[in-house]
Amino acid sequence: MGDVIVVFKIIPENMGMFDQVRKDLEDLKPQRLEEEPVAFGLKALKFTKLVPDEEGKMDDLEKRIKNIKGVQTCETVAISRSL
């Protein structure tokens, strides 16, 4: 098996928690963490991580993200195999 690249779009409960959510996501050691404007001053975070292509690994990562205090939604926006 190899690895997959997964991208999550994460929206905080409110913009006052944005910096704390970002800091907590950095603890998960993403390959990339970007801010993405949504609308009217709202921002989302795009979290990109290389995950082993094994059963349950991606679900475990998604659960860890959703359990971060201040995360309202976590949506998988892209999955691709790494080379």
Burial (CB < 10 A; 0-12, 13-18, 19+), residue 38, is exposed
pLDDT value, residue 9 = 97
Share of the chain above pLDDT 70, in %: 99
Residue 83: band (very low, low, confident or very high) from pLDDT cuts 50, 70, 90: confident
Residues 6+ apart with CB under 8 A from 25: 10, 33, 45, 47, 65, 68
Alpha-carbon torsion (36, 12, 60, 29), positive or negative: positive
30-53 tens-digit pLDDT:
999 999 998 888 899 999 999 999
Average pLDDT, stretch 20-27? Answer: 96
What is d(CA 15, CA 40) in angstroms, rounded to the nearest whole number?
Answer: 11
Residue 1 clears pLDDT 80, i.e. is over it: no
pTM for the whole structure: 0.91
Identify the structural domains of the chain with CATH numbers, from first to last.
3-81 (3.30.70.60)
